[in-house]
Structure 1
Amino acid sequence: MADLSKIPIAPNPNGGPPNFADPPSLESTVLSLGLALICISMACLTLRLLSNYQRTSKFHLDDYLCIFGEVAGIGFWGIVYSVARDGNAKHSWDAPMSIVTASFIKRHFASQMLSYPALCATKAAVLALYIRVFDNSRWMRRTCYVLMVLIFLAYGVNIVLVIVYCLPRKGAPWDTAVLDRCGDPGILAISFGAFSVLSNIVLFVLPFPIILNQLLCPMKIIGLTGVYLVGLSTIVTSIMALRYRVKTFLGEDQLWNGFTVTITTFAEIFGTVCVSCAPALYAFSMNFVQKSDLYPSRRPRPMSSKKRTKTDNSSADGNKFDSMSNLKIHNDWTDKCAMSHGVRSGPLTRIYSTVNPSFTYIPMTNGIAKSTRIDQSSTIVDSNASTHPESWPEKM
């Protein structure tokens, strides 16, 4: 019987002999990139949970989905790294056939059973967040619900296929026959890769119609730019994964390309976690960092007016109008920077009146970008001033 430890999995395309001594390996890439992404995503998730719990004393559906996706992603990375540490992250012509053991096949199955739920949960977390942030936009809510159903169906089908093709039949061993059968639906893997790219693009552009209608300050523009750069990176990684899925399907260095697919997969998982935590990170910076002594507050003097106005204390503190706890479109992502610079705000501006004891928020599309409370009892009326309602915004 031939010694499998001396036979490479595939012949070297250059015609050279196999390098079993010190071949190139992706083990260091899996370790360094994985640890870096885990640390960053865990930091974002921790700040997200801290910020949300400080405001609402509870977590929401998108929080739980994000936690599940992060845990499943860490488990997926741990399995991939254990396989790479055993010396399997090599080119196919530098790896002996003896590496294909029962343990290798079982870990291959386990990694797929974790990667699909992790991807599904992180994408669903973004959609659930959109539903909560843009809850008064009917088309956004309906679109997110439809996309969430499609994502659950797509990833659910892939989990079923993994169970059907990658589990040995009853009483059968975990051998190369199972591994060969697991690679049979290769065209489905390519279709799944294409769906992953498409879903990332949709998640990326979905909030654009609403965000572009807002008048944003420079600081918020910088923050959104950072968020969308991370989102763009997830699209790039999914495109790279699709490319290497095609190469693996065509039989080009299946071991090396397969590990590259796993690297791009956990990068996509942790990147999506970071994107879904962006609004909570903004809330954390508004509610904790900017209130601390390390962040000096600079506010302009009250604007002069023929009416005596009182600046709302809760607005000045940033608690009433900058609260991100409920993540609603009417009181989230408020243009705090625009207010601080006296710039006209968009539809997020609210005038807070003391006439109504219920403190109803009145939307003002082109109102002055300063949340004020008009004290009707102490209003000084100028006899020469126009009392036409249309002139009030100009005089405030």
Structure 2
Amino acid sequence: MAESDVDLSLLAQIPALPPPSGVKSNFDNPESREQLAKIVVGLTYGLMLVFLALRIYARIKITRSLGVDDYLSLAAGASITAFTGLSLSLFGEPLGPHQWNVPLSRFNASFMGRTLGSIVLFSLSSVFVKTALLSLYLRVFSPNRTARMMIWIGFTTIVVFYTIAIILNIRFCLPLSMTTPVPDQDEWAKKLKASNCSQPVYNLNAAVGLFGVVSDLYVLIIPVSMVYKLRIPRNKKIGILAIFLTGLVAIASSITSTAFRFHQLKSYDFTWDSIPSYTLRAAELNIGLICNCMPVVFVILKKIFQPRPCSSGKRDATPPARTPSHAYIADLPGDNHTPDMTEYEVPKPPAPTAVVRLKSFTHQSRRQPSRGERSTYTEIESWNQITTEI
């Protein structure tokens, strides 16, 4: 049957998948997973926007300039927004209900195009999120040769892999996205199989998910290994590591998302089982960008939650300490009073600055830190010092 002869009203009466024995298709009010998915996606997306806004605010307020990592984060936010919009447009139309409760007419060119667009945007967003974090590491750890090499290897591998994935997805699914379904379910299944936009794409997306987990672990290892080697106080080292280890949340989300991708390889109920996969993919991107912003946003969070000294607003009635500049000196005629040296108070030395403390610690270490360690420590230490400038 020619596609031009297809009666769309007939497609609206045919289920996209034959229902199980004893089950009747319900096109009017079927059970669906879309509502919970919309809530999860909306919450993680809103939280991502808050952290991204705080990151840009911190950069503009403190450094008064944006770096490459900030621009990549903005690009990630824009692509995640587009991915989220396409995903939400697929929820309920037709994803959410069981596939036998979805009419075949829902699998039209619009659905195929939006599905392909969401797949491409996920890979593009992943590139921006991961390379933004690597760009931040490059600025912080650039004096360290090993870190530089690891960062550029990760950068190149991530860009190349996701570019290949995007090209293959377009190659597999673009022809089908311009195809109209046919009333015969068997014939439509044959067209899906012939287009390679079914099982090959599922396999490719599972591989993309697996690569995402491995690359996330690799990106996390870089700062952890560098900070662990620094000759800095243990409590400070633990605090800095805690900032970077927030990336474990993104890794957990990535692992869960990948598990559902592999589950889809054996699933025949596409519209029902796609909801957890799409939801976790959106959460993975949003949480990834949140963790990306955490090292910068930490400055503001520390400023907000850091306890401040209480002030009563009253002047201290205690007179200022007497120093040689304020001491009584006999200058009246006939005044034989000799100043009592006990009235003098030796001024206290100023509190050591962060630089002095760092120098003192460096000299007390068993070995002198390398130039890379000193530069890295200075960059990381600025995250703590800079809160006084806000």
Determine if the TM-score, normalized by the shorter chain, exceeds 0.5. yes
Q: Is the 8 A contact 1:106 1:174 kept in 2?
A: no
Structure 1 segments (4+ residues) deviating >6 Å: 313-316, 335-338
Distance 2:117 2:132 in 1: 23
1:62 is the counterpart of 2:69 = yes
Distance 2:154 2:120 in 1: 22
1:233 is the counterpart of 2:249 = yes
Structure 1 vs Structure 2 CA RMSD: 3.5
Amino acid in structure 2 at the alignment position of 1:73: I
Distance 1:16 1:184 in 2: 26
**Unaligned 5+ residue runs, structure 2?**
1-6, 182-187, 312-345, 357-373, 386-390
Q: Deviations over 1:302-325 (max 9, x none)?
A: xxxx99743367879xxxxxxxxx
Equivalent position to 2:85, from 53, 68, 78:
78
1:123-272 matches, within 5 Å, as 123-168=130-175, 173=179, 175=181, 177=191, 180-185=195-200, 186-213=202-229, 214-217=232-235, 221=238, 225=242, 228-229=245-246, 231-272=247-288
Amino acid in structure 2 at the alignment position of 1:259: I
Amino acid in structure 1 at the alignment position of 2:298: Y
Q: Is the 8 A contact 2:123 2:165 kept in 1?
A: yes
In structure 2, the residue matched to 1:310 is 350
Q: Is the 8 A contact 2:213 2:251 kept in 1?
A: yes
Deviates more, 1:257-266 or 1:329-338: 329-338
Amino acid in structure 1 at the alignment position of 2:281: T
What SS does the corresponding residue of 1:152 show, helix, strand or coil? Answer: helix
Residue 114 (structure 1) shift: 1.3
**May I ask how many residue pairs the two structures share in their alignment?**
315
What SS does the corresponding residue of 1:168 show, helix, strand or coil? Answer: helix
In structure 1, the residue matched to 2:318 is none
Amino acid in structure 2 at the alignment position of 1:279: P
In structure 2, the residue matched to 1:376 is none
Distance 1:337 1:52 in 2: 15
Deviates more, 1:91-100 or 1:114-123: 91-100
**Unaligned 5+ residue runs, structure 1?**
299-305, 317-326, 339-396
Residue 10 (structure 1) shift: 2.4
Q: Which structure carries more relative contact order (alpha carbon 8 Å, separation 6+)?
A: 2
| Larger-Rg structure | 2
1:162/1:336 CA distance change after superposition, 3 Å = closer
Q: Is the 8 A contact 1:216 1:335 kept in 2?
A: no
Deviates more, 1:243-252 or 1:76-85: 243-252
1:283 is the counterpart of 2:313 = no
Q: Is the 8 A contact 2:99 2:271 kept in 1?
A: yes
Identity percentage of aligned residues: 23
1:371-386 matches, within 5 Å, as none
Residue 159 (structure 1) shift: 1.0
Equivalent position to 1:112, from 103, 115, 119:
119
Amino acid in structure 1 at the alignment position of 2:213: V
Distance 1:263 1:9 in 2: 22
The structure with the largest helix share of the pair is 2
1:127/1:95 CA distance change after superposition, 3 Å = same
What SS does the corresponding residue of 2:350 show, helix, strand or coil? Answer: strand
Deviates more, 1:17-26 or 1:148-157: 17-26
Distance 1:96 1:21 in 2: 10
In structure 2, the residue matched to 1:295 is 308
Amino acid in structure 1 at the alignment position of 2:93: D
1:6/1:188 CA distance change after superposition, 3 Å = same
Q: Deviations over 1:134-174 (max 9, x none)?
A: 2222111110110110000010001111221221289x645
Equivalent position to 2:58, from 51, 59, 72:
51
What SS does the corresponding residue of 2:196 show, helix, strand or coil? Answer: helix
Q: Is the 8 A contact 2:267 2:273 kept in 1?
A: no
Q: Deviations over 1:265-324 (max 9, x none)?
A: 1111111111111111122245x5378xx73389xxxxxxx99743367879xxxxxxxx
Superposition TM-score, scaled by structure 1 size: 0.69
